[in-house]
Structure 1
Amino acid sequence: MPEVSTPVPRRRLCQNRHVLKLFFDCRYTRTQVHDGISRFTASLVEAAAEQADVTMLISDPEQLNLLPDLAHLQISSPTSAREPWVARQINPHRPDVVFSPMQTMGGRGRNYPLILTLHDLIYYAHRTPPQDLPALVRLGWRAYHLSYLPQRLVLNQADAVATVSETTRGLIREHRLTRRPVELISNAPPSVQRPRDPAEAPRRELIYMGSFMGYKNVESVIAGLNRLPGYTLHLCSPIQAPREAQLRALARDPEQLVFHHGISDADYRALLRGGSALVTLSAAEGYGLPVVEAMAHGTPVVLSDLPIFHEIGGAAVAEAGAQVVPGNDPEAFARAVRRLEEPGTFARASRAARDRSLEFAWSDSAAALVDLGERLASHGQAARKS
């Protein structure tokens, strides 16, 4: 039997109207250190709880380490054989709507509206799955991405589809992945009340936050680092030993590489507030949450020349707060980093990055989610009455 916990609410919701009863799938939250989906989940669910009556769906109590103190319901794992019929565990609790930050949540037999999220279409071009998944799941991953048909079937079981960027929304429409409405529920940075001082000279440190899968193109970042003596590259995410050895072998001076194997939020903030730039030369992204996180602190970014990075960077690209370079041009990458050695250039880039980041907010994303949930819930109630 699923376990439910209901702590005292930390928010005051309007008592004069129906408050949306939103169940939020948090089963992809990590237990110790966030990855992108995990951070998206934790940030959005906390903001949504200010605007709706939220219950978090978890599969492991350890996930609560990285989640806000909200009501939660423990159900089966999203990789369980029970997943297609997970609605059987949720239906008795009568949610107004269920939101999943992934597109894989089962929906058979549900009696509630369901919102699924598609962050990107990366794995149609780069089919290698994460190596920490079970072998059977990796095999299914590859098969799933051989054509768009499975994706269409999954997305069309929902009542609406969410995505995190206009770039991905355009791709969803281009490939006709769903007949459902596609709503924008964007990523956003954490609130940073006091960004770094743009006039303060940065340390010659570069920061990389992300996975080490092939499409992330970390190899090109290291090739650029080889042209930047005196710089250190901090690689913040967990990494398996064989992959770390591969990357170390690419560096002319391995001492320039610092592998953190996962990093605390406090240590990550310290890197962002002192380093020259956050860097990524990824070959594909659905959004790039570390990019806006860095910009929120006033930290410039050096990025591969992708449509999504132009979308996120916005005016900061034109004002050099976000520099975009060809992803496979290490020399162009090194030149972009060296430009930031000029105090005036760094200060302008820092201010432009910070200004752009203020155009994104989790409260706005939560408002978009709650508005969509209320529309779906109202439609469902009207349908049941007719």
Structure 2
Amino acid sequence: MARYAQELLDALRALDGPKISPVAAWSALSPDRLAERRREIGLELTGLGRRGTSLLWTFLDRPFIESRLNRRIDVVHAVTLGYPVATEKPLVVTIHDLGPLTHPEYFRNTRPWVMRRSLDQAVRKADAIVCVSQATANEVRDIAGPAVDSRLQVVLEGVAERFFVPSDPAVLNQLNLPDAELPFILSAGANSPRKNLRGLLRAMAVAMQEIPHHLVLVGGTGWETSSFEQEIANPVFQGRVHRVGYVSDPQLRALYQSAALYAHPSLYEGFGLPVLEAMASGTPVVVSNRSSLPEVAGTAGRLSNASAPESFAADIVEICTNEAIRKRMIADGKAHAARFRWSDCAQAMANIYGDVSGVAFRQKRMAEQ
């Protein structure tokens, strides 16, 4: 979601369109880093603080965000379904997923009641509800009902141009990677039930009996640490699984481009941006056939049953051992990823801002209410 906010901001500012003012209710950055962000992107803080935002906006719907800023505001865009946003201005809300409400078994410490209050506010007040995939839009429609039909729009995310450009492999020198001559399979995501890294390990335990590839995991430790450690203790993984933790953006690009295959076994995604980033980087992708991932990967990725280790392993082995399939997937993946541009996302959002700020639109919304 942080990448979504930053990429959308940059793309909107590249348009000859609306003037965008990024706003946060609070910040955990150090004073020096916060001052740097203010200079870099013009970030403003409402001054309400984290606790004040939660209490005031969730329960009182006051003070309005526009009253805390020193500029004229025409439209307020909440780029994620976090706290409800108090405003009297036309409101646009982006919903990435409703996982804590629809699949609570995949989430923890997410305070689903906050998401529920935010969703209720969006259904009640938002002039446009933007979903990043059709799968997410379907979830919103299932929960909110037909009241949102006229305001529900799907605006797909994009792939930054830098992922199409060759990276500097030297940025990987400090990471715990296999020897350069050994091929590896890459997967990015925190260790959690939703990301299904345990399922990937089970598939790799099968696949590694047929292919020489190592496995490189990018991301945080998540909250399945003990069971994950039990899986990784399998003797077949001896020296062949490399956990590199969080990486910089240049390192991530280099990892995508160096990998023989990118595996995305997630059981639930609102969108699944790493799938497109890997494709843009010229890497074949095998991806779970669940939630939004089929619409994101399209026919350019190999859709597989990530809940069945043997099936997922078979797809991994076939792609890694069949050069003709690899070449076709690389070409198809690049062409597919090129269809997802942040500039298109930004233009669609700018059009929505213009629509909801129009007098006729506002009068129609007031009549509906």
**TM-score w.r.t. structure 1 length?**
0.76
Distance 1:39 1:86 in 2: 28
* Residue ranges of structure 1 left out of the alignment (5+ in a row): 1-36, 317-321
Aligned to 1:291: 275
Structure 2 residue matching 1:327: 3-state secondary structure: coil
Q: Indicate how the Cα distance of structure 1 residues 257 and 237 shifts in structure 2: closer, same or farther if over 3 A, else same.
A: same
Equivalent of residue 126 in structure 1, options 88, 93, 103: 103
Structure 1 residue matching 2:246: 3-state secondary structure: coil
Structure 2 residue matching 1:170: 3-state secondary structure: helix
Q: Which amino acid aligns with 2:256?
A: L
Aligned residue runs from structure 1 range 96-115, under 5 A: 96-108=74-86, 110-115=87-92
Contact kept? 2:76, 2:91, Cα under 8 Å: yes
Q: CA deviation at 1:271?
A: 1.1
Structure 1 residue matching 2:206: 3-state secondary structure: coil
Contact kept? 1:187, 1:360, Cα under 8 Å: yes
Q: CA deviation at 1:309?
A: 1.9
Distance 1:238 1:77 in 2: 30
Q: Indicate how the Cα distance of structure 1 residues 249 and 294 shifts in structure 2: closer, same or farther if over 3 A, else same.
A: same
Q: CA deviation at 1:184?
A: 2.0
Aligned to 1:248: 229
Question: Is 2:323 aligned against 1:343?
Answer: yes
Equivalent of residue 267 in structure 1, options 245, 251, 257: 251
Q: CA deviation at 1:255?
A: 2.7
Aligned to 2:305: 326
Contact kept? 2:355, 2:361, Cα under 8 Å: no
Q: What's the RMSD between the two structures over aligned residues?
A: 3.0
Aligned residue runs from structure 1 range 181-330, under 5 A: 181-191=151-161, 192-194=163-165, 204-229=183-208, 230-239=212-221, 243-251=224-232, 252=234, 253-316=237-300, 322-330=301-309
% identity of equivalent residues: 20
User: Which deviations, in whole Å up to 9, do the C-alpha atoms of 1:96-143 show, x marking residues without a partner?
Assistant: 1111111234333x2321111111222224325866x5xxxx5xx144
Aligned to 2:131: 163
Equivalent of residue 74 in structure 1, options 39, 45, 66: 45
User: Which deviations, in whole Å up to 9, do the C-alpha atoms of 1:244-276 show, x marking residues without a partner?
Assistant: 443132022253222222011111111111112
Structure 2 residue matching 1:255: 3-state secondary structure: coil
The count of aligned residue pairs is 328
Q: CA deviation at 1:68?
A: 9.3
Aligned to 2:13: 49
Aligned to 1:152: 120
Structure 1 residue matching 2:51: 3-state secondary structure: coil
Q: Which amino acid aligns with 1:294?
A: A
* Residue ranges of structure 2 left out of the alignment (5+ in a row): 168-179
Structure 1 residue matching 2:43: 3-state secondary structure: strand
Q: CA deviation at 1:185?
A: 2.2
**TM-score w.r.t. structure 2 length?**
0.79
Q: Indicate how the Cα distance of structure 1 residues 190 and 170 shifts in structure 2: closer, same or farther if over 3 A, else same.
A: same
Distance 2:23 2:260 in 1: 39
Contact kept? 2:276, 2:296, Cα under 8 Å: yes
Q: Which amino acid aligns with 2:125?
A: Q
* Of 41-50 and 276-285, the range deviating more from structure 2: 276-285
Aligned to 1:12: none
